[in-house]
Amino acid sequence: MMDISQVEEFTKKQLANERTGHDFYHGQRVANLATKMYLQDNPDAHPESRMVAIIRTGSFLHDTIDEKICSDPQKVIQEICGLLPEVGFSDLEIKDILFTIQHMSFSANIEHHYKLPLSGQYVQDADRIESLGAIGIARAFTYGGKHGNLIYDPKIKPEKLISHDQYRNHEETTINHFYEKLFDLEKLMNTPGGKKEAHRRTEFMHEFVDEFMDEWNV
């Protein structure tokens, strides 16, 4: 496989102070899960192929330009454009990686659905799966606490998300986030492996929220 250690070090540096669940270890888990799903769905693929290197690179880099945690995404994009040729990626491969990390987020796809390259579909699925299951629950409450959201308030009702600005600015609770976004993610998966794993983790989250509501209403 191509040596993408420079990409990993770049990600560590960019996300060194991240404390909301979008840190380097998140990127590492996304890379590992996206690779695993791609190889399971494509048994003839080689683990050291350039496709795997592209998937892993997009996985590591995707949150380095996320508007939630990056104050100057365009500056970081320029740095990535200088980094990727040094790693050995071709112009076409760089184009696919950049398109993926700039268009894969949930918020970017509320009003317009972007068709990602195959590599990007695995990165996107793995990133969304990271919002599900036990780790997804932990990340949801960490992010909500960091941003001052209530755990739950029955007077604040879940909203149907229809725009980027509404998604970023509406009043929400962490429990509402499950209903507004997380429970719907499995329907948005691109790949066979993504659909299977998303369903498993979503079932776990439903059990958690059911238990939460039982305890709330004791």
pLDDT tens per residue, range 17-26: 999 999 999 9
- The topology (CATH level 3) of 5-216 is Hypothetical protein af1432 (1.10.3210)
Amino acid at 196: K
pLDDT tens per residue, range 11-55: 999 999 999 999 999 999 999 999 999 999 999 999 999 999 999
Report CA torsion sign: 157, 194, 35, 88.
negative
Beta partners for 150? 173
User: pTM of this prediction?
Assistant: 0.95
Are residues 188 and 118 in contact, defined by beta-carbon separation less than 8 angstroms? no
